[in-house]
Structure 1
Amino acid sequence: MKRLVAVLWRLIKGPLQWRALWIWHAKFMVGVTGVVRDADGRVLLLKHRLWPEGRQWGLPTGYANKSETFEDTVVREVREETGLEVRATRLLHLKSGYKLRVEVFYEAELVGGTLSIDSTEVLEAEWVSLDSLPPGLQETHRHLIEQTAPPPPPSGWGGGRGCDA
């Protein structure tokens, strides 16, 4: 049987092979989340209107559109939800295992714009330091923020003023 399948596979070639693979395999939605920090190291948090009560705080997030790169999804979602312009910089985490969803997490650098929330999706937006993360923050987001926080300056660091010689 396997030999017959292999012969048929070689016969159909190109686009028909891709169509067969598409029909045969699972389809997934891809949720993309951005960890956006400002120049002071604070992280952008949103209180999402459509998330469960008591767990509404989280990072900017949304689903990838067909033919959109994940980096472009981060840029688009942050702009749609907050009016801010960002640049996706580093893939932080990729998580699968949900029924029909894959989660992708990127670090993103603030490059411009003015904070202005889309009230259909977002109730509030705040720049928050690591020591003032709000209750009701999604645990996966809290963990990601803590794991990617910039390291504190070394003890006795003079803030870039130079050394006394």
Structure 2
Amino acid sequence: MKRIAARIWHRIGGRLQWRLLWLANPKFMVGVTGVVRDADGSVLLLRHRMWREARPWGLPTGYAKKGETFQETVVREVREETGLEVRVGELVRLTSGYRLRAEVAYEARLTGGTLRVAPLEILEARWFAPGDLPEGLQESHRPLIEREAGPGRNA
């Protein structure tokens, strides 16, 4: 039976194979976060309008779009939410298991732009020293921020 299934699989061709695989497997959204640091090592935090009032502060975050790399998502989200430009560096987190969402986080370094928040999504944007983070910070973002960005880890 396995041999027959394998022969059929090989004969149906790539396009139909991919369609069958797509139908048979779960679909995931990918949340992408940027740990944006300036030249002094301060981190960019945003007070998000749509997040819970008790935990409104967090890193620039958004969902990857179809055909976009995760690094491109970081650049786009930071630009859309703050007007700032960044260079994406090291992958610092890759997790799954939260319903139908995978989460990815990258270090990123400020390279330019003028800080202006997108008022539909963001109430406020500020730079914080890693040791002086605001109340109401997303707990999952704290270890990303406090992580030591040593040699070879800089964005």
Please give the range of the TM-score, normalised by the shorter of the 2 chains. over 0.9
Aligned to 1:159: none
Offset at residue 3 of structure 1 (A): 2.9
Offset at residue 149 of structure 1 (A): 4.7
Sequence identity percentage: 66
Q: TM-score, normalised by structure 1?
A: 0.88
SS in 1 for 2:71: helix
Aligned to 1:123: 123
Residue correspondences, number: 151
Aligned to 1:163: none
Mapped to 2, the partners of 1:118 and 1:148 lie a distance apart of 29
Retained in 2: the 8 A contact 1:54–1:136? yes
Mapped to 1, the partners of 2:117 and 2:6 lie a distance apart of 54
Offset at residue 2 of structure 1 (A): 2.7
Mapped to 2, the partners of 1:40 and 1:59 lie a distance apart of 17
Offset at residue 148 of structure 1 (A): 3.5
SS in 1 for 2:21: helix
Structure with greater Cα Rg: 1
Retained in 2: the 8 A contact 1:35–1:60? yes
1:39 equivalenced with 2:34 (yes/no): no
**Unmatched 5+ stretches in structure 1:** 152-165
Q: Deviations over 1:92-135 (max 9, x none)?
A: 11001111100000001111001000010000100000121011
Aligned to 1:58: 58
Offset at residue 28 of structure 1 (A): 0.4
Cα-Cα RMSD = 1.3
Retained in 1: the 8 A contact 2:131–2:146? no
Aligned to 2:11: 11
